[in-house]
Amino acid sequence: MALKRGLSSVGVQRSRSSGSRLRIVILFFFSILTLLVFFVGQGLYISDEDSVQSGFGKQNVDWRERLASQSIKNLFTKEVIDVVSTSTADLGPLSLDSFRKGNLSTSWKVIGVESSVADKATSQSNQKATDLKQEMSQVKEGKLPNDDHSHDMLTTTLRRQLRDNRREKHVAGLVQKDDEATVKLENAAIERSKAVDSAVLGKYNMWRKEIDNENSDSTVRLMSDQIIMAKVYIIIASMKNKLDLRKELQIRLKESLHALGESTTDADLPHSASDKIKAMEKVLAKAREQLYDCKLMLGKLRAMLQASVEQVMSLKKDSMFLSQLAAKTVPNAIHCLSMRLTIEYYLLPAEKRKFPRSENLENPKLYHYALFSDNVLAASVVVNSTIMNAKDPSKHVFHLVTDKLNFGAMNMWFLLNPPGKATINVENVDEFKWLNSSYCPVLRQLETAAMKEYYFKADQPTNSGSLNLKYRNPKYLSMLNHLRFYLPQVYPKLDKILFLDDDIVVQKDLTGLWSVDLHGKVNGAVETCGESFHRFDKYLNFSNPHISQNFDPNACGWAYGMNMFDLKVWRKKDITGIYHKWQNMNEDRALWKLGTLPPGLITFYGLTHPLQKSWHVLGLGYNPNVDKKEIESAAVIHYNGNMKPWLELAMTKYRSYWTKYIKYDHPYLHSCKFRNEPDYN
């Protein structure tokens, strides 16, 4: 029994020792297993991260990046986030234009008023870099959460910030250089403006400085403005029953109007003008306090503006009427000259009324001129200027045609003042028996009741509702104006003839025109069209199918006044017949208005040879800006327009070219009180 107990105790001890060893083995096994699991897990994590980056790239955003971004937003300020967001590759190359257009974020915009742009940008970027370094130190000290991703983000942001600093400095430099270039350009423009002729630009040009003119009109303009405002407040005061204020305004208005008078510059104002301005300013200030109503003021000013516009239009219409009337009338001095010459002519015996060298009138080898005029003085200038500038006056022949009223005066003038060795002849258009209404469409149309009503009924309206005075000029009633379409009939023995208007001046020898090759054309003339004016659509009605189907609206117009006509080709192509055809079609004035240029453009369409512009310069009767060099180099200058050189409304700057061919000491001119100024009464 004892032995059994001993054996059993030994077995128990053995079993206890074996159990403890087993526990140690198990513990050791699990320790090894834990280490293996740890290292395997790290390897799987790294390989998994690599596979994600290589597999998805930029298409998927890792959850760790989202977590880091959220942490960054909480960690950094908005200004730092802007730096990071604007420093991506999507911005493309940096340019000054993108900076000026505001395409960059606020961190790129360099603002500086007192300090320089570059210094401001440098200080701001250095401050941002310092802030980032402080935040990095806080992470290292454990004051802010730290992990691998946040550390990488801070490093990347710091690098980007340094790169941004360099860009900001570059932009600041570009801005500074651009500003310097702008200043240089402005200074150069100012220097150029100093050389501008103020007389050409006018008084109110944009470069004018008020200090350049001590006697400016600023005070006159101030008084005018006060007068306008006073008139408005008077109306409003009446509407609002402010009678005392209205009376005070009326008193000041009367005083200002009296002080202003007809003054156009400050130098014309009386010494009391400053006192009137101060008194008016006080009452206007009082009116503003009591009466000012923006909407009401606007309405009254608009009504005043409309009334002023209507007044200007009325004055413009009156001015047009008066200018047309002045252009139609004959000055007293010229009328006096014509009457005196006419009396003297009919007192002459018949044998003394003939001109010498009549055999030259039909000689085709000489240089022939056609001049149709009822103005004795104007015709004398044309003839005198041509002869004085001719190399051989004996070869020049002048064919003058006038009306019955001026026939005697025209003959008497050239009998008293023969053109040297040149030949001259004067005819009466009323003695051309072949020129009658059965042959000439214009004469037939002028005799109709409709045409007489158009010319002589004052209240006859046009399509525009107002009188078109330009086309109601009596010259269109005269056959002298239409005789140019019958040159072969008037001069059947001639081959070429130079047609001249009576409002021209010849400045050079014209014999070279007879040797100009017209290339089979009938008419040699100077073209007048430019970029968009004086083309066919200016003169003809292209809404009419007869015009639109036969002519080009952009065809170039040309000028009557100096025209070389080949009468042989004229007869061959029956130019007069073409003129008659179109004149008959225009009986109701549907193709063109009255005048000779529109039918001339139609008749000689495709049959006109352009001459060099130096032969004929136009515009001296309406254009104040004709180049002086062009005038002086021209063979013929033309006073086409209403401002004829013999009228009071002539432009003074051009009159000397005309008056140099008039002898003002001539007995007839002296007795009719001719003077070298356009002040005929």
Give the C-alpha separation, 284 to 286, whole Å: 5
Amino acid (one-letter) located at 70: Q
Alpha-carbon distance of 274 to 278, in angstroms, equals 6
Residue 370 CB neighbours (<10 A): 20
Tell me how crowded residue 425 is: count the other CB atoms within 10 A of its CB. Answer: 17
Strand partners, 398: 369, 424
pLDDT at res. 530: 67
Q: Which one, of 419, 428, 418, lies nearest residue 396 by Cα?
A: 419
Cα separation, 512 vs 515, in Å, equals 5
CA 193-194-197 angle, 5° bins: 85
CA-nearest of 377, 277, 320 to 658 is: 377
CA distances, 632 to each of 159, 283, 526, 661 (Å): 77, 59, 17, 15
What residue segments make up the domains of the chain, in order of their start? 332-457+469-672
pLDDT of residue 137: 59
Name the H helices within 457-596: 487-490, 536-539, 545-548, 567-573, 575-585
Q: What is the DSSP string of 12-38?
A: HHHHHHHHHHHHHHHHHHHHHHHHHHH
CB 246 within 8 Å of CB 237:
yes
Ranges of the chain with pLDDT below 70: 1-23, 25, 28-31, 33-154, 171, 174-179, 181-183, 185-186, 188-216, 318, 320-328, 452-477, 530-533, 677-681
pLDDT at 204: 36
558 in Cβ contact with 527 (< 8 Å): yes
Domain 332-457+469-672: assigned CATH number: 3.90.550.10
Amino acid at 637: I
Distances (CA, A) of 582 to 110, 241, 441, 536, 573: 76, 68, 10, 15, 15
**DSSP string covering 224-270:** HHHHHHHHHHHHHHHHTT-HHHHHHHHHHHHHHHHHHTT--SGGGS-
What is the pTM assigned to this prediction?
A: 0.58
**Concatenated DSSP letters of 60-122:** S--HHHHHHHHHHHHHS-HHHHHHHHHTSGGG-S--HHHHHTT-S-GGG----SSS-HHHHHH
In this structure, how many other beta carbons lie within 10 angstroms of the beta carbon of residue 192?
A: 10
The pLDDT of residue 359 is 93
DSSP 8-state class, residue 557:
P
Q: Which two tokens stand for residue 303?
A: 């009504």
pLDDT at 29: 66
Q: What is the spatial distance between Cα 286 and Cα 292, in angstroms, rounded to a whole number? A: 10
